[in-house]
Structure formats: structure tokens, C-alpha cells
Amino acid sequence: MQLRILHSQVEKLELKKLGQGTKKGKELKSFDLGFDVQIDPEDNSNFRIIFEIKVQHLNELKLNCIYSVWFEASEPLNAEEHAPMLNINAPAIAFPFLRSLISTVTLNSGFNPAILPSVNFLQEKN
């Protein structure tokens, strides 16, 4: 089965300055990531991954974001039969776009860029 990203969108983005931001570095104080998969009930070859992420970077900022990525599969999907593709492969394909968004938004907002760690979705689901 093949996957193709159709569209991605920020559903919610909250960015809050915490302090003076004088500390330099790339250290994340906290990083919490969750996601959900929703198969389109009208076209079961389409689905979306909805990421919810909370980040505290240095003592500088807090960021909360909900980010959706829509996919098209080359064949109809069954949630049980295609669980590894829906819960491991698709999030692994989409997550680099979220990482890029977070680092770009924080940098362009005048903060030290928050560079998120890589995530092993295979390990996260086991």
C-alpha cells in the first residue's frame, strides 16, 4: 500500500513567553506528544493524523499545538488490518513536518528555535 500526503494544517497554536529568554541552547524542558487517527467515513481510503503537542523550551516559552495531516491510501483502509500503517508509518511520515513547523515558528517568533527530538513510533506503540 502506498500513502500520499494530501494536506496539512495547524488547527490550534498557542505560544507563550515565559521569561527573559537569555539562556542559549537547544534544551527542551518538557515535550509531550500524542496523536489520533481518523479514517474518513465517506472515503475509507483517506484518513488524517491529528497530533497534539506540548513543549516547554528552556525557560523561555511554552507551546501547545494541534496539527492535522491528511493522507490518501492506494486502497481502502480497515483500522484493524492496517493498524501498523495507520499508527506507525503515517505518523512517522508526518512528524518531520510538525518538527519543522515548531522550530520555524519559535525561531520566527524571536525565540531560540525549539528543535524537537526524533520519535520512534514503532517503540511508542509497543
Each residue's pLDDT tens digit, 43-90: 999 999 999 999 998 888 999 999 999 999 999 999 899 999 999 999
Q: Which comes out higher in pLDDT, residue 26 or 7?
A: 7
The answer to whether residue 118 sits within a structural domain is no
The answer to whether residue 12 sits within a structural domain is yes
Q: pLDDT tens digits, residue range 103-116?
A: 999 999 999 899 99
The answer to whether residue 58 sits within a structural domain is yes
Q: CB–CB of 89/119 below 8 Å?
A: no
For 16-37, the DSSP string reads EE-S-----S--EEEEEEEEEE
CATH code at position 64: 3.10.420.10
Global confidence as pTM: 0.88
Boundaries of domain holding 67 = 3-113
The number of domains in the chain is 1
Provide the grid cell at 105: 515558528
Q: CB–CB of 91/121 below 8 Å?
A: yes
The answer to whether residue 46 sits within a structural domain is yes
Question: How confident is the model over 12-37, as a mean pLDDT?
Answer: 81
The answer to whether residue 98 sits within a structural domain is yes
The answer to whether residue 51 sits within a structural domain is yes
The answer to whether residue 122 sits within a structural domain is no
The answer to whether residue 63 sits within a structural domain is yes
How far is it, in rounded angstroms, from Cα 114 to Cα 50?
20
